[in-house]
Structure 1
Amino acid sequence: MQYKRIVVKVGSALVSPDGQGCSGKHVLAIAGFISACHQREIEVILVSSGSVAAGRSHIAHGSNNPSIAAKQAMAAVGQMQMMANWQRFFDFSCSQLLITHGDLKDRKRYLNIKNTVRVLLENRALPIINENDTVATQELKVGDNDNLAALVAMVVDADALLILSDVDGVFDKDPRKFGDAKLIPVIDEITQEIYDLAGGTSNHLATGGMATKIQAADKACQQGIDTYIVNGTMPYGFEQLLKNENPGTHFIAKGNNLTAKKQWLKNTLKSAGAVHVDKGAVNALQQSGASLLPIGVKGLTGDFAKGAAIDIIYLDGALPKVIGKGICQYSSADLARIQGKGSQHIEDILGYCPSQEVIHRDDFVLSKKA
């Protein structure tokens, strides 16, 4: 694969084919694909459905259409089993992150998720993300793990999103009703006509169908993230992916996600303040693509919160020059206390250390050289 960081979304039908607990029937091949990606230095973030199905047999419900409360209880039991099921197929560490849309909308929690995933990847651990179904009633009701995967792909700056299910991809008509239905291998633009091709789901435990997958692809592609819908029950599909071949439906991203992010940061976010840096920091940012560390900060202006966009200014004599803009990991109050200090002293000064960097290189865009 030509991608460096991918999000792999796995549907309930793959984790629990019979809806009565976890199974390795399909997960084994998926785990093999993820391991192969690791061997190729491709970073993987896994978004896994299936906790409700995994816990189904442990919660009395008396219905093929369980109540929200019953599904939440199933998720609470099933999440443990689902994680154990994934971990048994890997010889590297797995990690669990349970999040909701509220976490992604809150700027501080958004940054915390981003930073946690970043550190996990740096330590070659596999982040396994699922919606917190035990508390997210509305999200659980409407079914959103496909869209959640798209949002996660944006948070972690992924190059591609792979949506694995028990269907081959998008067809020109419903393959369950028409024997002559043909798979659409490439979709350049997601139009209303494409949405109209989506049907519902026949799985009473699943929370999404083709419609949510197309919605997810739409979100991701608009942010420059290539998206694939692939049949996860067919192991040869993973071999094709590793050979840069398309085994399902490929939604073409609109532009480059790095360019899209840099443009968003540069042109959309308004700066809430600024930091003044020394020549060493300027060289590191411009020439080495490094992050901005507190030791390189010599002053700051403005009153800003953690997660705010700020300008990076170099004082060349008496003439200030803006060399770039980035998302700050610290509030102005905390930054004032650690400026000019080594990163190893942050915890001693503040009592905690959410990040070694003031601005991580992934959250920084250059303007012009000083």
Structure 2
Amino acid sequence: MSADPAVTQIVQSLPAWRRAVLKVGSSLLAADGGGLSPRFALGLAQFVSASQAAGREVVIVSSGAVAAGRAILPKVDEAGAAIAARQALAALGQAQMIGLWQRFFERPVAQVLLTHDDLRNRRRYLNARATLNELLALGALPVVNENDTVSVDELKLGDNDNLAAIVAALIDAEVLFIATDIDGLYDANPRTNPLARLVPEVVELTPEVFAMAGGSGSAVGTGGMRTKLEAASKAGAAGIDTVLFNGRRSEVLRGLAHDRLEGTRIRAARSRIAARKYWLRHAPLEPGAILVDAGAAAAIAQKGASLLPGGIAGAEGDFRRGDMVEVLLRDAGGEQRVARGISQYSAVDVRRIARRHSREIEAILGYNYGGNVIHRDDLVLM
């Protein structure tokens, strides 16, 4: 792919940062014929080393485990393979992927595998945060990946672009670097349209900007650009800028080490959501919902109130205490998503205490986790 040289030579300053997440995709690590190659990983590692030498901290979110596993057992057909086969490839390849990164650094490289449940469960989310912070304090280089060995399709986080955005918010990073195999965001597909122009800066992620990346199955979305914009949206909600750049160009990587960007900078939203509220907004939901009446919906939306049993009309699904669920208002006008939050009671318990007073909870259930079904500190409006 060739891009317009006059456009790709636009250089801008990086945002100030002390801590960052670097996401590296399989296209930069996979070798021709299978396995992993150090060809592009070396330049990325040099950028990380230069950043660390300047007193900065970096966490890598790296793909490549399945590609590495496929080289070990090439007879396994990953395309259309059973979930167990893909998980086996990931398990075989994880050590190879970590070994690739370790070869470039004198400091220890630490493997951190995250799952859907680690980010849905508040306690485990905070444990992951504490682990990453401690690894950084110890001078290690954390390399994060989704734990494909135990994840199943219906519980997967999805892709490493969005995982990187979640990790960036998890560790309070100032910038999310996404290394790809093209120079950044273009206003058209640069592989098919010679007039495509690089977009050096995005101030706001509007529908028009997303349209540049095409749909998830569109040829315009080459390189998964839409998921990168989705990740930038998540990062931006936490006050984190996203930088897209070509990880195959050594001169671009050298420029990044000196805070010069040739690529696309996607600026964060002006207002920063508090860390807890951010997690509440983006953590995966448990199937199910709590149904409320109009009075409870208004109290939550307009007064910042907690959700009490008296305003609950019912519950759907089979969620448990501590799960993240939606709060829905369903009436003659249709269905409205009011909020999402952590339920202090299971779906079975919510059904039993619906329309009752908080002081009756213990008499009905035989125990009491508090008078709020969802406390206002555990709620975020939708």
Task: Give the TM-score band, short-chain normalised.
Answer: 0.5 to 0.7
- Asked if the contact 1:98–1:129 (Cα under 8 Å) also holds between the matched residues in 2, the reply is yes
For these two proteins, the number of residue pairs brought into alignment is 264
Amino acid at match of 2:254: E
Give the alignment's TM-score, normalised by structure 2: 0.64
In the alignment, structure 2 segments of 5+ residues that lack a partner are 1-13, 282-303, 307-321, 323-382
The equivalent position to 2:48 in structure 1, one of 34, 45, 53, is 34
- Structure-1 residue corresponding to 2:196: 181
The question of 1:171 aligning with 2:186 is answered: yes
Q: Which whole-Å deviations, capped at 9, do the CAs of 1:74-114 have from their partners, x for residues lacking one? A: 11111110001100100111100000122111111111111
- Structure-2 residue corresponding to 1:93: 108
Change (3 A) 1:232 1:102: same
- Structure-1 residue corresponding to 2:22: 8
The equivalent position to 1:84 in structure 2, one of 78, 92, 99, is 99
- Equivalent residues in 2 for 1:259-270, closer than 5 Å: 260-261=273-274, 264=277
- Structure-2 residue corresponding to 1:148: 163
- Structure-2 residue corresponding to 1:58: 72
Shift in Å, 1:271: 12
The equivalent position to 1:71 in structure 2, one of 86, 104, 110, is 86
Secondary structure, aligned partner of 1:197: helix
CA distance in 1 between counterparts of 2:90 and 2:55 reads 32
- Structure-2 residue corresponding to 1:241: 256
The question of 1:194 aligning with 2:209 is answered: yes
Q: Percent identity?
A: 45
- Structure-2 residue corresponding to 1:295: none
Amino acid at match of 1:27: A
Amino acid at match of 1:40: A
Secondary structure, aligned partner of 2:239: coil
Q: Which whole-Å deviations, capped at 9, do the CAs of 1:116-149 have from their partners, x for residues lacking one? A: 1111111110010000011212279784110000
- Asked if the contact 2:115–2:157 (Cα under 8 Å) also holds between the matched residues in 1, the reply is no
Secondary structure, aligned partner of 1:29: helix
The equivalent position to 2:39 in structure 1, one of 9, 18, 25, is 25
Shift in Å, 1:244: 2.3
Change (3 A) 1:134 1:263: closer
- Structure-2 residue corresponding to 1:132: 147
CA distance in 2 between counterparts of 1:208 and 1:104 reads 26
Shift in Å, 1:180: 1.1
CA distance in 1 between counterparts of 2:114 and 2:228 reads 19
Amino acid at match of 1:55: G
- Asked if the contact 1:51–1:78 (Cα under 8 Å) also holds between the matched residues in 2, the reply is yes
Change (3 A) 1:262 1:148: closer
The question of 1:110 aligning with 2:125 is answered: yes
- Structure-1 residue corresponding to 2:367: none
- Asked if the contact 2:238–2:275 (Cα under 8 Å) also holds between the matched residues in 1, the reply is no
- Equivalent residues in 2 for 1:198-347, closer than 5 Å: 198-199=213-214, 209-255=224-270, 260-261=273-274, 264=277
CA RMSD of aligned residues (A): 2.8
Give the alignment's TM-score, normalised by structure 1: 0.66
The equivalent position to 2:60 in structure 1, one of 35, 39, 46, is 46
CA distance in 2 between counterparts of 1:77 and 1:26 reads 22
Amino acid at match of 1:51: A
The question of 1:123 aligning with 2:138 is answered: yes
Q: Which whole-Å deviations, capped at 9, do the CAs of 1:121-178 have from their partners, x for residues lacking one? A: 1111001000001121227978411000000001100000001111211101011110
Amino acid at match of 1:110: Y
Shift in Å, 1:243: 2.6
CA distance in 2 between counterparts of 1:236 and 1:54 reads 27
Q: Which whole-Å deviations, capped at 9, do the CAs of 1:224-247 have from their partners, x for residues lacking one? A: 000011111111112222332221
